[in-house]
C-alpha cells in the first residue's frame, strides 16, 4: 500500500499525534456510517464500541494491531453486555463492577502491552452506565450495536495502520535519534557539572531518566522496524536503528577513566572539549532526525558536525604527564561515537546498508506478542503485585459504586467509578501522579465545556467529541494531564448527546473527580505492593543479567553476535527495571522504603561494569586482539571466571566482605592502536573491582531488605 508523503505541518507531528488523528477519523467514520444506516442511538452505541476498540490502536505492525484491537473490542463489549444485564439490580451491578475490575486488571499479567486492553472493560462501564434507562431495545441488541461498531473500527484500524506503517517506522526512528541526542546532551551536562565541582545529583537523575527514555524508544522502534517485510527501505531503516543501539553502548563506554584527568585547569579544559564534542554530535543527530521526519533522504553534507577536536593537541601536556597516555584512548572513544553518527548520516544519504544480523535473527529482539496462559498462572499467588492490584481495584471500584448511590447526586454513579479506575495504579508513585493530573485536567476540561455550552450546535459538539477522543488517545502515555482534560470533555459531551435535556452536569463531574481521586489515594494503601517486595527478585535478575553479558563478551560462542546483543539488552532492561523501582519508592512511606543508598551504589557499579564490558567488546572488535594468543586467551578466561564468581550472590547475606583493593591499574605506555593487550588486561582488572563492589552493594541491600541473599529470580514473570 502506498505511503503518505508528509506535508509541512505533519513533519513535526509525533507518532502519538498521528495515531490520535487516525483514531479520531476512524471513530468519526463509524459514527457517520451508523448514523446514516441505523439512526442516532445506534450511532452512539456503535461509537462507544469503536472507542473501546481504539484504546489498543497504537503504532504497531498490522498483525499486532489485529490482535490487540480485537482483544480490546471483545473484552469491552463483553463488559458492556454484563453491565446492561445487571443494571436493573443495583446490588448485583456493584458486584459485577468489582468482578469486571478484577478480570480487567489481571490482564496486566501479560505486561505493559496489555495496559490499553485492560482498560477497555473499565471504560465500557462508563459508556454503558451512561445510557438512559429508557433506551429502547434489549441488552443483547444494545450490546450488539457496540460490537458492530467495534468491528467496523477494527477494519478501519487495520487499513489505517497498513497505510501508515512506513510513516510510523520513520517517526519511531526519529524519536530514537532524538532520545539519543538528548542522552548525549545529558552526558555533556554531567561532565560540565563535575567540572564546576558540583555534586551533579540533578544532572545524574536527568541522565538516568534520559537513558530510560532512550531504552523505551529503541524498543518501540525495534518492534516496528524489525517486524517489517524485508525490503531495501526496511534494510536501511534496520541499519539506522542498529547504529543508534550501538551509539548508546559506545556512549556508555565513554564515561570510563575520566576521573584520571584530575581537577586542574587542564582537566577542566579537557572535560569542556569532551562536552563540546558530545553536543556537536547531538546536533548531527538532530539533523538526521529532521531528515527522517521530513521523509526525505537528502541529508545535506556537513562534515563539520562529525569532526571531533583532538584532545591531545588541545591539552598541550608535557611529555612526562601520565595523562598523555590516556588521551588517545579518550579521543578514540569520542571518534567511535562520531563514526556511529556518521554511519547514520551516510545511510540517510543513500549508502547501501550492511547488516550485522540476518532477518530471522532480528526477530529475536522484537518484544513478545500473544497471551500465553503461563504468564497469568505465574501471578496467581498472594505475593504477586498484579493479583494484589487486581483485588485492590475490585474493592475500590465496587466501593466507589456503592458510595455513589448514597451521594446527594446520583445521576452519574459511573463517573465516580471511572475516576477511581483511572487514578488507582499499581504503585503509589503512579497513583499520586495520576491523582494530581486527573484533578487539574478535569478542572480544565470543565472550563472548556462551560465555554462550549454557549455554542448550541450539535454538529460542533460531535466534532469536538471526536477531537477529544483523538487527543485523549494520543497523549495517554505521553502527558496524562492533556488526556484527563480531553476525557472530561468527551464524558460531558457524550452525556449531553445521549440526553440533551440533561445539560452539562459540570458540578457533579468536578465533585466526583475530587472524591474519586481521594478514594483511589486511600485504596492505594489496601494490599499495597511496596517496591521492597519485588526488589530482591529485581536485584537477583540484575546480577544474573550482568553475569550473562560478561560471559558473552569475554567468551563468545559460535552465535556470539546474536547472543551478545540479546544478553546486552537483558542487562540494560534488568538495570532499568531496578532503577525504576528505586525511583518509584521515593514517595512510599518512610517505614517501607528500600535501602536507597545501597541500591544506588549497586546501580552505579553495575553501570560502570556495563561500561567496562562495552569497552572490552569494542577493544576486541576495533583492534582485533588475537584471542588465540596465549596471554589474551588466558586473560579472557580468567576474567570471565572471576566475574562470574564476583557477581554470584553468596549463600548467606552475612557475606559482606569488602573486595580487595587490587593492583593499581596504571594507564599502559602505548595507545591501544599500537598494543591493545595491556589495555585489555587493565580493563579486566577494573571490571572485576566493579563487579565485586556491585555484589557487595547487592548483599548490603538484601540484608537491609531482610531477604535471603540467595534468592533466585522467579520464573514466569512477564
pLDDT digits (tens, 9 = 90+) for 213-228: 888 899 999 999 998 8
Among the listed residues 117, 131, 126, 121, the one whose alpha carbon sits nearest the alpha carbon of residue 100: 121
For all residues of the chain together, what is the average pLDDT?
83
Over residues 307-336, the mean pLDDT reads: 73
Q: How confident is the model at residue 300 (pLDDT cuts 50, 70, 90)?
A: low
Percent of the chain with pLDDT strictly greater than 70: 86
pLDDT digits (tens, 9 = 90+) for 105-143: 999 999 888 888 999 999 898 888 877 776 677 788 888
Q: What is the pTM of this model?
A: 0.84
For 17-21, 26-30, 156-160, which range has the lowest pLDDT when averaged over its residues? Answer: 17-21
Q: Flag whether pLDDT at 715 surpasses 70.
A: no
- Check if the beta carbon of residue 26 is closer than 8 Å to that of residue 51: no
Q: Kindly state the cell numbers that stand for 49.
A: 464500541
pLDDT digits (tens, 9 = 90+) for 419-440: 899 899 989 998 999 899 989 9
CA dist 394 and 103 (Å) reads: 9
Over residues 389-406, the mean pLDDT reads: 94
pLDDT in the model for residue 571:
93
Q: Which of 133-137, 198-202, 210-214 has the highest mean pLDDT?
A: 210-214
Q: How confident is the model at residue 716 (pLDDT cuts 50, 70, 90)?
A: very low
C-alpha dist (Å) from residue 250 to 180, 283, 555, 613, 639: 11, 17, 20, 11, 21
Give the chain's length: 718
For residue 117, what are the contacts with CB-CB under 8 A and spacing of at least 6?
Answer: 55, 56, 68, 71, 72, 75, 107
CA dist 186 and 200 (Å) reads: 11
pLDDT digits (tens, 9 = 90+) for 40-73: 888 888 999 999 999 999 888 998 999 999 999 9
- Check if the beta carbon of residue 549 is closer than 8 Å to that of residue 570: yes
Determine the Cα angle at 319 with ends 314 and 321, to 5°.
Answer: 85
pLDDT digits (tens, 9 = 90+) for 363-376: 888 888 878 888 88
Q: How confident is the model at residue 662 (pLDDT cuts 50, 70, 90)?
A: very low
Cell 476540561 belongs to residue? 445
Q: Which of helix, strand or coil describes residue 366?
A: coil
- Check if the beta carbon of residue 578 is closer than 8 Å to that of residue 702: no
What SS3 string covers 389-438? HHHHHHHHHHHHHHHHHHCCCCCCHHHHHHHHHHHCCCCHHHHHHHHHHH
- Check if the beta carbon of residue 189 is closer than 8 Å to that of residue 206: yes
Q: How confident is the model at residue 9 (pLDDT cuts 50, 70, 90)?
A: very low
**568 or 17, which is more confident:** 568
pLDDT in the model for residue 459:
81
Helix 232-253 vs helix 139-195: crossing angle, to nearest 10: 40
- Check if the beta carbon of residue 331 is closer than 8 Å to that of residue 312: yes
CA dist 488 and 446 (Å) reads: 7
Q: How confident is the model at residue 198 (pLDDT cuts 50, 70, 90)?
A: very low
Q: Flag whether pLDDT at 563 surpasses 60.
A: yes
What SS3 string covers 424-479? CCCCHHHHHHHHHHHHHHHHHHHHHHHHHCCCCCHHHHHHHHHHHHHHHHHHCCCC
* Residues 395-424 as b or e (16 or more Cβ within 10 Å = b): bbbbbbbbbbeeeeeeebbbbbbbbbbbbb
pLDDT in the model for residue 203:
60
Q: Kindly state the cell numbers that stand for 628.
A: 588465540
pLDDT digits (tens, 9 = 90+) for 468-519: 888 888 888 778 888 888 888 887 787 777 666 666 777 887 888 899 999 9
pLDDT in the model for residue 54:
92
**688 or 253, which is more confident:** 688
CB-count exposure of residue 269 (10 Å: 0-12, 13-18, 19+): middle
Q: Which of helix, strand or coil describes residue 14?
A: coil
For 199-213, 239-253, 278-292, which range has the lowest pLDDT when averaged over its residues? Answer: 199-213
pLDDT in the model for residue 173:
94
CA dist 541 and 691 (Å) reads: 15
**581 or 650, which is more confident:** 581
CA dist 49 and 420 (Å) reads: 22
Amino acid at each position: 500500500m502506498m505511503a503518505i508523503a508528509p506535508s509541512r505541518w505533519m513533519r513535526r507531528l509525533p507518532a502519538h499525534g498521528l495515531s490520535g488523528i487516525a483514531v479520531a477519523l476512524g471513530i468519526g467514520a463509524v459514527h457517520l456510517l451508523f448514523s446514516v444506516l441505523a439512526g442516532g442511538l445506534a450511532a452512539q452505541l456503535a461509537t462507544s464500541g469503536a472507542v473501546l476498540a481504539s484504546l489498543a490502536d497504537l503504532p504497531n505492525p498490522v498483525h499486532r494491531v489485529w490482535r490487540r484491537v480485537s482483544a480490546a473490542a471483545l473484552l469491552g463489549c463483553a463488559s458492556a453486555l454484563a453491565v446492561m444485564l445487571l443494571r436493573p439490580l443495583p446490588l448485583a451491578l456493584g458486584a459485577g463492577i468489582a468482578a469486571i475490575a478484577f478480570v480487567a486488571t489481571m490482564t496486566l499479567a501479560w505486561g505493559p502491552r496489555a495496559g490499553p486492553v485492560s482498560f477497555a472493560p473499565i471504560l465500557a462501564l462508563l459508556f454503558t452506565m451512561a445510557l438512559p434507562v429508557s433506551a429502547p431495545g434489549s441488552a443483547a441488541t444494545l450490546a450488539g450495536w457496540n460490537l458492530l461498531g467495534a468491528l467496523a473500527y477494527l477494519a478501519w484500524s487495520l487499513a489505517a495502520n497498513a497505510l501508515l506503517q512506513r510513516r510510523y517506522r520513520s517517526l519511531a526512528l526519529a524519536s530514537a535519534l532524538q532520545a539519543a541526542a538528548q542522552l548525549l546532551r545529558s552526558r555533556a551536562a554531567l561532565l560540565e557539572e563535575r567540572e564546576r565541582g558540583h555534586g551533579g545529583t540533578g544532572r545524574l537523575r536527568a541522565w538516568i531518566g534520559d537513558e530510560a527514555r532512550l531504552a523505551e524508544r529503541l524498543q518501540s522502534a525495534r518492534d516496528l522496524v524489525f517486524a517489517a517485510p524485508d525490503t531495501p527501505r526496511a534494510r536501511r531503516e534496520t541499519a539506522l536503528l542498529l547504529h543508534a543501539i550501538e551509539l548508546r553502548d559506545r556512549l556508555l563506554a565513554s564515561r570510563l577513566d575520566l576521573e584520571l584527568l584530575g581537577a586542574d585547569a587542564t582537566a577542566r579544559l579537557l572535560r569542556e572539549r569532551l562536552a563540546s564534542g558530545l553536543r556537536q554530535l547531538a546536533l548531527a543527530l538532530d539533523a538526521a532526525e529532521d531528515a527522517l521526519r521530513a521523509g526525505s533522504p537528502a541529508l545535506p553534507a556537513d562534515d563539520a558536525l562529525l569532526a571531533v577536536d583532538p584532545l591531545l593537541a588541545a591539552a598541550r601536556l608535557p611529555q612526562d604527564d601520565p595523562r598523555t597516555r590516556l588521551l588517545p584512548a579518550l579521543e578514540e572513544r569520542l571518534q567511535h561515537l562520531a563514526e556511529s553518527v556518521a554511519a547514520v548520516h551516510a545511510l540517510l544519504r543513500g549508502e547501501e546498508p550492511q547488516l550485522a544480523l540476518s532477518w530471522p535473527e532480528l526477530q529475536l529482539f522484537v518484544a513478545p506478542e500473544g497471551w500465553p496462559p503461563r504468564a497469568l498462572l505465574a501471578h496467581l499467588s498472594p505475593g504477586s503485585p498484579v493479583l494484589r492490584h487486581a483485588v485492590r481495584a475490585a474493592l475500590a471500584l465496587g466501593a466507589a459504586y456503592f458510595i455513589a448511590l448514597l451521594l446527594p447526586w446520583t445521576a452519574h454513579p459511573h463517573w465516580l467509578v471511572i475516576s477511581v479506575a483511572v487514578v488507582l495504579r499499581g504503585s503509589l508513585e503512579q497513583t499520586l501522579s495520576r491523582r494530581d493530573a486527573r484533578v487539574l485536567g478535569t478542572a480544565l476540561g470543565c472550563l472548556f465545556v462551560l465555554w462550549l455550552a454557549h455554542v448550541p450546535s450539535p454538529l460542533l459538539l460531535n466534532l469536538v467529541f471526536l477531537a477529544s477522543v483523538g487527543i485523549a488517545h494520543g497523549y495517554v502515555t505521553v502527558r496524562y494531564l492533556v488526556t484527563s482534560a480531553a476525557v472530561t470533555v468527551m464524558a460531558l459531551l457524550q452525556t449531553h448527546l445521549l440526553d440533551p435535556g440533561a445539560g452539562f452536569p459540570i458540578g457533579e463531574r468536578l465533585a466526583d473527580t475530587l472524591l474519586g481521586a481521594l478514594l483511589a489515594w486511600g485504596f492505594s494503601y489496601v494490599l499495597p505492593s511496596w517496591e521492597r517486595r519485588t526488589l530482591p527478585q529485581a536485584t537477583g535478575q540484575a546480577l544474573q543479567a550482568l553475569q550473562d553479558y560478561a560471559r558473552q563478551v569475554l567468551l563468545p560462542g559460535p552465535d556470539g553476535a546474536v547472543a551478545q546483543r540479546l544478553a546486552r539488552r537483558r542487562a540494560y532492561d534488568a538495570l532499568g527495571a531496578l532503577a525504576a523501582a528505586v525511583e518509584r519508592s521515593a514517595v512510599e512511606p518512610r517505614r517501607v522504603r528500600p535501602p536507597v543508598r545501597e541500591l544506588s551504589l549497586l546501580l552505579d557499579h553495575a553501570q560502570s561494569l556495563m561500561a567496562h564490558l562495552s569497552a572490552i567488546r569494542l577493544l576486541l572488535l576495533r583492534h582485533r586482539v588475537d584471542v588465540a594468543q596465549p596471554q589474551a586467551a588466558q586473560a579472557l578466561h580468567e576474567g570471565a571466571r572471576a566475574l562470574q564468581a564476583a557477581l554470584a550472590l553468596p549463600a548467606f547475606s552475612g557475606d559482606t566482605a569488602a573486595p580487595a583493593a587490587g593492583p593499581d591499574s596504571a594507564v599502559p605506555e602505548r595507545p591501544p592502536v599500537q598494543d591493545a593487550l595491556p589495555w585489555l588486561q587493565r580493563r579486566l582488572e577494573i571490571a572485576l573491582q566493579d563487579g565485586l563492589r556491585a555484589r557487595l552493594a547487592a548483599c548490603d541491600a538484601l540484608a537491609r531488605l531482610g531477604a535471603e541473599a540467595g534468592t533466585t529470580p522467579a520464573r514466569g514473570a512477564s
